[in-house]
Amino acid sequence: MSTSEREALDLDATDPGHRELFDVPPAQGGDYPEVAYFAGNSLGLRPKATRDELLEDLDAWAALGVEGHLDAARPWLPYHELLTAPAARLVGALPSETVVMNSLTVNLHLLMVSFYRPTRSRHRIVIEDSAFPSDSYAVRSQARFHGYDAEDAVIRLRPRPGEDSLRTSDVVEQLGGDVALVLLGGVNYLTGELMDIPTITKAGHLAGAVVGWDLAHAAGNVPLALHDWNVDFAAWCSYKYLNAGPGALAGAFVHERHLGADLPRFEGWWSTEAATRFEMKPEARPPATADAWQVSNPPIFSMSPVRTSLEIFDKIGIDVLRERSMRLTAYLEKQLAGMDVITPTDPARRGAQLSLRVQGAGEVSRRLRFEYGVIADAREPDVLRFAPVPLYSTYHDCWRAATALAEVMA
């Protein structure tokens, strides 16, 4: 065993994560039985508790049929409320501001119905040029829906020439009087850059714009304080750092100052207040909470894995995980010395991710997986992403990844 490998194992002994709570896939190549998994920013690993707890909910259906709505151990009728408080704690919100529902882009569209209210003089939308494509699709389609040319309406922010990340000051300078909506990724999916959410939110408000955030790569990755930062709205998915399974239900936040306001909003069965839902009246009576943005009956078996995941975050704490994340990512960065890392070097400006510019990234990723048992992911044309997730990644995983990458690149 090399000195560097022994050092990694020693660090794992003194700074362990919670790998024992998760099912780690077996390796298809290399010298170790399990993969070194660095794709948690695409799909998190399955918590071991998920299977049994989901089966409990499924068994209630078998045993009770329709009566499970009221008589299950976790009754289905108010089931979504089990997720509200822990989700709110995770993103720094009030329970009344938080709801788990739908998928990420559906939530963004439902929220933009309320918060993108363009006029001829103020109709532009600001996003980052390297936003995840679905965000681009969403804002462009919203602009077109309101009768504007998407090429003109959508302002795409690019880093300065020769740089890979956006500067906060450059973002702020783009927030002019014609901007109706700012919608940025809290952590950029490609570079791993953590945006200055409070500063940009304040600047957007001073410019007269509404400010929303896509937190797909931020929720469960970095501490958030959406209420205190005065964010207007936000949405996030639950299958990346939140480990709730492929296509898992997403979350949404609406600041309390908007709750109960006379905003345009799409409504459905679950948009009305629970106390009068079964009066079966034709008019909805929306509650003064984020629940008013719900539309459909919640899918219980999709909520179950989210509930299991949120219990883990509640027990461990996002602040504790963030501290380990910074140590783990710094260690990986040290092991990757000499590589072209495009993620900010300042630990405060990045999440649990390091992105490298690598020619032939797709082929490199394939070789890492099948020859070394290291799973990272490639983004065309030349970015290789590593996400050292503090819940289950280890220092030894980082050592394996860096060692394997050096051999492949050689």
- Smallest CA-to-CA distance from 251 within 181, 309, 319, 171 is with 309
To the question of whether residue 270 is assigned a binding role by annotation, the answer is no
> Hey, what amino acid is at 222?
V
- Tokens 């100052």 correspond to what residue? 257
What are the b/e assignments for 179-216, b being 16+ CB within 10 Å?
bbbbbbbbbbbbbbbbbbbeebbebbbebebbbbbbbb
To the question of whether residue 71 is assigned a binding role by annotation, the answer is no
Write out the two tokens for 109.
């569209």
Within its chain, how far is the Cα of 22 from the centroid?
19
Question: Between vectors from CA 170 to CA 203 and to CA 342, what angle results, nearest 5°?
Answer: 125
To the question of whether residue 41 is assigned a binding role by annotation, the answer is no
Burial status of residue 282 (CB atoms within 10 A of its CB: 0-12, 13-18, 19 or more): exposed
> Hey, what amino acid is at 33?
P
Omega prior to 25 cis, within 30 of 0: no
To the question of whether residue 18 is assigned a binding role by annotation, the answer is no
To the question of whether residue 230 is assigned a binding role by annotation, the answer is no
To the question of whether residue 269 is assigned a binding role by annotation, the answer is yes
| Torsion from C-alpha of 205, 210, 216, 218, nearest 10 degrees | 10
Burial status of residue 52 (CB atoms within 10 A of its CB: 0-12, 13-18, 19 or more): exposed
Give the number of residues written for the chain.
Answer: 410
To the question of whether residue 132 is assigned a binding role by annotation, the answer is yes
For residues 138 and 195, the answer to whether their CB atoms sit within 8 Å is no
**Cα–Cα dist 188/4, whole Å:** 31
For residues 132 and 185, the answer to whether their CB atoms sit within 8 Å is yes
To the question of whether residue 262 is assigned a binding role by annotation, the answer is no
Most distant CA pair in the chain, distance: 72
- Smallest CA-to-CA distance from 41 within 256, 260, 252, 329 is with 329
To the question of whether residue 297 is assigned a binding role by annotation, the answer is yes
- The annotated binding site is made up of 104-105, 132-135, 214, 217, 239, 269, 297
- The annotated binding site for pyridoxal 5'-phosphate is made up of 104-105, 132-135, 214, 217, 239, 269, 297
